[in-house]
Amino acid sequence: MTQASSFPASRATVRPDRLALYFLVACTLLSTLLVFSNSLPIWLTVAAVAGLLAVFVWRAAVTRAFLPPTAVDWPNLLMLLLLPVGLWASHDPAASWPTIAKVIAGFGLFYGLAGLAGSRWADLLPWLFLAAAALASLAVLVGTRWFTSKLPFVPDQIYAALPSLSSDNPLAGFHPNLAGALMASLFLPALALVLWSRERRLRAAAVAVALLTGLMLFLTQSRGAWAGLGVGLLVAPTLRYRRWWIVVAVVAVVGAAVAAVLGPSLVNNMMLAPVTDETAINTLPGRLELWSRALAILGDAGLTGIGPGLFEPVVMRLYPPFFTGVQGGFFHAHNVYLQSAVDFGIGGVVALVALGLGLGASLITATRRVPDATQAGGRRLSQHSMAIGLFGSLVTMAAHGLVDSSLSPPRGYMLAFVLFGTATALVNHLLRQPAGNA
């Protein structure tokens, strides 16, 4: 299949490469406005939504396809269909609007990136990813509200020396747990390029990015992100080495045995350990309390949810917490699956799980159908390696989502869907290339 075959020649008035670039740039600019909708007048965010719709209509007029084809179209469309339901269930539409806007932004970013497949820009995805990961690491470095009370073996003096933005800067304010989730997801594709790419310059750049993202991940002291990364590191090599499942099985058995022996005492110590108000939410008792409140909400409004972005005010009024304090500050359920259900009902968690499973299956398919890439050199092997790394990122986010909800903040949602869209573009691009293309 040639690059131009994705766009009917009789209707294409723009070259495929230019069309992919224009579509991505327009989607990125308009989606970024939606991510920062809290700081913008409502008319501007409404205009951004209308602009996104116009961009998709323009693409449909050129290509006869409203959406770039992906393996997860129906979960993405289901999320859009759930937005009116969420607004109907919400008792405070103004408070729900930022969540509505971020879902639309994620949709635009996802398909803007997915549209790169089949164009020459997709050949540059490993380089573009490394550049974006380096910029994200620098943003985390200067924009994170660093906590220093989690792990005693990390010296506090390090944080005093770090640069930071002023608190009123709209780019400042990354929570360490959100920063940790982002850095863990960016670390794995960079590491995969370090291990398996044969392009020397790309590999050298990947080494630098892996070191930078790894350092930022360490500084976040996010135990959930570290644990998620561990799961991703364990599972991702199964796409490269067919017998790696033996290692996964051995680690699982050993881990289960250790948990059976030491687990009860560790849980008891964590439940009884004294904590401060600042860290109560980041402890096991705090998480359990928030999860119990989310389950109580689902017992009362599981079909439609309570409306997006309203977990904390509803909990404080109807299901007041005790351990996490009466002043709030927890914002979300600290479990991405529970939070999706609380926001949009059972349909929300169905869409989220289907999206993750569909992306994972497509990455497995791409790496299995092009096994010659593991023997090839150059660009194709780099793309194949990055696909394995992105699969690890997906596993990391799925595991981390059990103990936190990095998709709740708009910037976290945006960055996650950038990764999802990149993975989709890479998958489709790999599957379109001739078998012997290196």
Model pTM greater than 0.85? Answer: yes
SS3 389: helix
Asked if pLDDT for residue 7 goes beyond 50, the answer is: no
**pLDDT top residue among 331 and 148:** 331
Mean pLDDT of 225-254: 92
**Segment among 67-76, 200-209, 275-284, 304-313 with least mean pLDDT:** 275-284
**121 contacts: CB under 8 Å, gap ≥ 6:** 17, 20, 21, 24, 128
- How far apart CA 75 and CA 353 sit, in angstroms, is 9
pLDDT value of residue 437: 47
**Segment among 33-37, 127-131, 264-268, 399-403 with least mean pLDDT:** 264-268
Asked if pLDDT for residue 4 goes beyond 50, the answer is: no
- How far apart CA 89 and CA 244 sit, in angstroms, is 46
64: left (phi over 0), alpha (psi -120 to 50) or beta: left
**CB contact at 8 A, 317 and 328:** no
Mean pLDDT of 343-364: 96
Q: Over the stretch 377-393, which tens digit does the pLDDT of each residue have?
A: 578 889 999 999 999 99
Mean residue pLDDT across the chain? 86
pLDDT value of residue 266: 58
**pLDDT top residue among 121 and 3:** 121
Q: Over the stretch 173-224, which tens digit does the pLDDT of each residue have?
A: 788 888 999 999 999 999 999 999 989 999 999 999 999 999 999 999 888 9
Asked if pLDDT for residue 13 goes beyond 60, the answer is: no
pLDDT value of residue 259: 77
**CB contact at 8 A, 125 and 386:** yes
- The pLDDT-based confidence of 229 (bands split at 50, 70, 90) is very high
pLDDT value of residue 15: 78
CA angle 185, 189, 194 (to 5 degrees): 135
pLDDT value of residue 167: 57
pLDDT value of residue 115: 94
